[in-house]
Amino acid sequence: MSDASKKRRSFDLKDMQEHAASKGGKCLATEYKNSTYRLLFECKCSHKWRATPLEIMGKKNKPGIWCPKCEGQ
């Protein structure tokens, strides 16, 4: 049985850069492989960390996360 209703979210590097810019940060990755491949991000406080596009953009039941250092406070 196929599950066509289950949409796989897909992003690209430009989506990640735009999302990062909307948070005042940057996506430092130069290559996008897939939604579970970790990319390097920098927030507006110059924290750098790696996260997957799915973690950043969020999933169906889970909101996206941004800088773990800023948000962890």
Site residues, Zn ion (CB under 5 A): 43, 45, 47, 67, 69-70
Beta carbon of residue 70, minimum distance to Zn ion (angstroms, whole number)? 3
Which of 36, 14, 17 minimizes the C-alpha distance to 25? Answer: 17
Structural Rg of the chain based on CA atoms: 13
Nearer to Zn ion, 56 or 67 (CB): 67
Beta carbon of residue 52, minimum distance to Zn ion (angstroms, whole number)? 17
Nearer to Zn ion, 2 or 22 (CB): 22
How far the first Cα of the chain sits from its last, in Å, is 45
Nearer to Zn ion, 10 or 58 (CB): 58
